[in-house]
Amino acid sequence: MKSKISYFAGLDIGGTTVKAILVDSQGQQAGTLVEVRSLVKDGYAATFGQLEVAIEQLAAGACVERGAIAGIGLDVPAPSSDGVIWGRANLGDDWVGTDIRGLLSARLGVPVYMTNDGNAAAVGEYALRKDHSSSLMLVAPGTGLGGGLVLPGGRCYEGVNGMALEVGHVSVPFREDDGSLPTCSCGLTGCSEAWVSLVALRRRLGLELAKPEWAAHPLNQTAASIEEKAFRLREFAQDGDELAVSIFRRQGFILGYLIADLVRVFDPGLVIIGGGLAETSFRDLYMTWIEEGFADRAWSVYRFSPLDPEQVTTRFEWATGGDAAAAIGMAYAACELFQ
Ligand SMILES: [Zn+2]
């Protein structure tokens, strides 16, 4: 048993699984990624039990005593401030307004850092890169549209209330064909998330499939649910299907347009595109659509240096951490904060 060294655990609470990673005091991963079932809908007490299971598995997998784990980084799929969740998101009701960080810290007997999943993934992408000289901004289209900003040195910019980088609820000046604004999951209209997310994709696909020009489209010849059709849309885009490409192209353009305004605020140097699109075979094409939207809105100095037109000022990269990025980020953050 290697118990003299301190270890730090990163725990990522998702809707279906809890992902967990252990690092040593050098930030090197110890053992492998652990996944256990998430019980978020059953409340925080049930979830804490699952976190303990994950921690036991982490310790066993790395051949270390559980007592060697000196700190925890935890991310939750909801806005939070100072360890308290503000919005319900996909969690059970008892999470909101509860001192999750304090309760978990007391239960485990170690300090806990807590943030939202967008911030956690941004820190993970930062940790996975060797170059730590510039800040890094993550935008991650998934079920919603999350984001995070990591400053040089590795600290996540969370704002005074932990509410910074809610990029999915920044408004963008786009309208539906009939001139209306789409309603966002947050209740507002015109949010970027209402255009760039899985939820938005389903709505857009439903609207398009109702048009006469797509009556003969294969997705109109099946009784599958809109969720299933939206899921299959990626395959269609990979095969160059006109409808699928047009939908993703518009989504990518709006994402790029949003990024241009975010870059105007934060000037991060490196923009990481996360979410499931990073794993698709048409991602290169999708990136060109993001860049189209970015070029449409960003001043040229945000694209190329005025001194050297060959020098790119805002770089775009795909996320590399996959769905382990948030757990990696939380292990990294705990290691930085608690050793
Ligand atoms: Zn919104």
What span, in angstroms and rounded, lies between the C-alpha atoms of 69 and 105?
Answer: 12
Q: Quote the tokens at residue 204.
A: 């857009």
3-state secondary structure 74-123: EEECCCEECCEECCCCCCCHHHECCEHHHHHHHHHCCCEEEEEHHHHHHH
* DSSP count for the chain of H helices, then E strands: 8, 11
Return the pLDDT at 89.
63
Residue 31 host element (H or E): strand 29-37
Q: Which residues, by Cβ under 5 Å, contact ligand 1, an ion?
A: 169, 184, 186, 188, 191
Residue 316 identity: F
166: CA distance to ligand 1 center in Å? 9
186: CA distance to ligand 1 center in Å? 4
Report CA 238 to chain centroid distance, whole Å: 23
Q: List the one residue out of 132, 152, 115 whose CA is nearest residue 329.
A: 115
List beta partners, residue 21: 10
Q: Which ranges of 109-241 would DSSP assign to H, the alpha helix?
A: 117-127, 198-209, 226-238
What span, in angstroms and rounded, lies between the C-alpha atoms of 326 and 12?
Answer: 6
145: CA distance to ligand 1 center in Å? 9
- The residues, any chain, with a CB within 8 Å of residue 255's CB and separated by 6 or more, are 139, 141, 192, 196, 273, 290, 293
Residue numbers of the chain with a pLDDT score lower than 50:
2-3
288: phi then psi, degrees, rounded to nearest 5: -65, -30
Contact 23, 70 (CB under 8 A): no
Q: List the one residue out of 260, 249, 262 whose CA is nearest residue 289.
A: 249
Q: List the one residue out of 246, 249, 268, 269 whose CA is nearest residue 257.
A: 249
160: CA distance to ligand 1 center in Å? 20
Cα separation values, 170 from 32, 145, 151, 189, 274, Å: 37, 10, 21, 10, 18
292: CA distance to ligand 1 center in Å? 24
Q: Quote the tokens at residue 15.
A: 């809707």
191: CA distance to ligand 1 center in Å? 5
Return the pLDDT at 91.
82
What span, in angstroms and rounded, lies between the C-alpha atoms of 315 and 292?
Answer: 14
Residue 150 host element (H or E): strand 145-150
Which pTM does this prediction carry? Answer: 0.94
Q: List the one residue out of 32, 118, 30, 139 whose CA is nearest residue 75.
A: 118
Average pLDDT, the chain: 94
CB atoms near residue 169 (< 10 Å)? 19
Q: Could you tell me the domains of the chain?
A: 7-128+323-338 (3.30.420.40), 136-319 (3.30.420.40)
181: CA distance to ligand 1 center in Å? 12
143: CA distance to ligand 1 center in Å? 13
169: CA distance to ligand 1 center in Å? 4
> 105-139, pLDDT tens digit by residue?
999 999 999 999 999 999 999 999 998 989 999 99
Return the pLDDT at 278.
84
81: CA distance to ligand 1 center in Å? 18
299: CA distance to ligand 1 center in Å? 26
Return the pLDDT at 88.
63
Cα separation values, 260 from 68, 257, 263, 291, 294, Å: 44, 5, 5, 9, 5
What span, in angstroms and rounded, lies between the C-alpha atoms of 11 and 328?
Answer: 8
13: CA distance to ligand 1 center in Å? 22
Residue 134 identity: S
192: CA distance to ligand 1 center in Å? 7
